[in-house]
Copies of this chain bind each other. A is one copy, B any other.
Amino acid sequence: MELLEQRILRDGKLLPGGILKVDGFLNHQMDPLLLREMAREWARLFADAGVNKVLTIEASGIAMAILVGLELSCPVVFAKKSKTKNLSGEVYSTEVPSFTHGNTNTVIVSKSYLGPEDRVLLIDDFLATGAALIGLKALVEKAGATLVGAGAAIEKRFQGGGDELRKQGVRVESLARIVKMDDSGIQFG
């Protein structure tokens, strides 16, 4: 998506250790007009997929997800990072390792809001190792729901998570796909 790629080139910051900071417009400060265009693009891509639920994970996926839900006129659920290991039987849970923080989060969604009748589109900001989306996929499977696909704002292709998900049969639509990132700049492809 040209608009997002241009914005990454203009306002993204490349930090040592393979970190791309986009917190000026995507996941700390957010540009609602850009995010709406992104949501419209996902809605267009998945228009015929019969999506009736959008699922994301707190916190940075929420803004994009609600805008996708608005475009598709369906409810949006965000999976929560749980502080307690002592979960009730009322939630589906899974473990999601965090690339950025070097720890593992227990991620939960209430059984009331995900079930066999749901055709689910996953939305998240980054797709790198794929850990977050793989975790959300596990929640969808536990609920007996149908996974329609996944939308990521930025896919770091060189980290392999997107291709792993595709290999598992998931339709992945990333709006900006980075194939290379180094001192000489960012290369999309």
List residues of A whose CB falls within 8 A of some B CB: 23-25, 28-33, 35-36, 58-59, 62-63, 65-67, 69-70, 73-78, 80, 83, 101, 109-110, 112-113
Q: A58-B58, A62-B63, A112-B24 are in contact. Are A31 and B75 (CB under 8 A)?
A: yes
Partner pick for A29 among B59, B70, B76, B83, CB 8 A cutoff? B76
Complex Cα distance, B70 from A113, in Å, reads 26
Extra pairs beyond A62-B66, A83-B101 (19, CB < 8 Å): A24-B112, A28-B80, A29-B75, A29-B76, A29-B110, A30-B66, A30-B76, A30-B78, A32-B66, A32-B69, A32-B70, A32-B76, A36-B70, A59-B62, A59-B80, A62-B63, A63-B63, A63-B65, A67-B67
Complex Cα distance, B29 from A77, in Å, reads 4
Cβ contact within 8 Å between B28 and A78: yes
For residue A145, give the distance in angstroms from its CB to the closest CB of chain B. 13
| Copies of the polypeptide in the assembly | 2
CB neighbours of A70 from chain B (8 A): 32-33, 36, 67
For residue A140, give the distance in angstroms from its CB to the closest CB of chain B. 14
CB neighbours of A78 from chain B (8 A): 28, 30, 59
Partner pick for A110 among B23, B25, B74, CB 8 A cutoff? B23
Partner pick for A113 among B28, B74, B83, CB 8 A cutoff? B28
Complex Cα distance, B25 from A75, in Å, reads 8
For residue A91, give the distance in angstroms from its CB to the closest CB of chain B. 10
- Chain B: which residue is nearest A66 at the CB level? B63
